[in-house]
Amino acid sequence: MTVDEFYRLETDLDGIYELDAGFVEFRPPPFVGVAEVQGNVACCLRNFVKPRGLGRVGLRSGVLVRRDPDTVFMPAVQYYSAVRMPLDAIVKTYNDRPPDLAVEVLSPDDRPSKIRRKVTEYLAAGVRMVWIVDPEDRTVTIHTEPNASRTVTEADKFDGGDVLPGFNVDVRSFFE
């Protein structure tokens, strides 16, 4: 399936659909606890980004990471700087520009190998930073390079680095 066919896909099932190397994958909607963490992350980002006019924060929006075969992932949260997606831009399909930040919030059924591959694909597509948020372990693993990451716990704070200068958050706030 191509990205254009995927965009027009109609289904009767509520859930999250991703296009992975031309094949549609279905995941059920997240559990309440996972969805709450997704919302908390989005709120923290939006509360920093919006007043400063830095860009846009979105939920479960398709990110085109590869063509031929086409791959579209749906990160839980994404941040596009105003440089990558101007604030007045109207995008009516999957953005062909990658977000600056993609956030995946783990569900109990996520396979570690799939998450590692998603991180690799996001970074190869030009995503500048990927956060893997683990509600069970209450950690965030930050990736800025394919083979380098650091993990912070709920007792820690971390910043947005070059992607979100000035952003600083208590990891605990994602889980409360």
| Predicted local distance difference test score (pLDDT) of residue 8 | 65
Distance, CA of 133 to CA of 34 (rounded, Å): 10
Q: Decide if pLDDT at 13 tops 60.
A: no
Q: Which domain holds residue 73?
A: 29-174
- The 10s digit of each residue's pLDDT in 71-105 is 888 899 999 999 998 788 877 777 778 999 999 99
Q: Decide if pLDDT at 161 tops 80.
A: yes
DSSP state of 22: T
Question: Does residue 157 lie in a domain region?
Answer: yes
Question: Does residue 3 lie in a domain region?
Answer: no
Q: Which of 147, 74, 65, 64 is nearest to 107 (CA)?
A: 74
Number of separate domains in the chain = 1
Question: Does residue 6 lie in a domain region?
Answer: no
- For the chain, the average pLDDT equals 88
Q: Decide if pLDDT at 27 tops 80.
A: no
> Residue 49: which CATH number?
3.90.1570.10
Question: Does residue 116 lie in a domain region?
Answer: yes
Helix (H) or strand (E) holding 17: strand 16-20
Work out the pLDDT band at 31, boundaries 50, 70, 90: confident
Question: Does residue 21 lie in a domain region?
Answer: no
Question: Does residue 80 lie in a domain region?
Answer: yes
Percent of the chain scoring above 90 in pLDDT: 56
Q: Decide if pLDDT at 122 tops 80.
A: yes
| Predicted local distance difference test score (pLDDT) of residue 110 | 83
Q: Which of 33, 95, 104 is nearest to 74 (CA)?
A: 104
Q: Residue 64: how many CA atoms within 13 Å on its side-chain side?
A: 15
Question: Does residue 10 lie in a domain region?
Answer: no
Question: Does residue 90 lie in a domain region?
Answer: yes
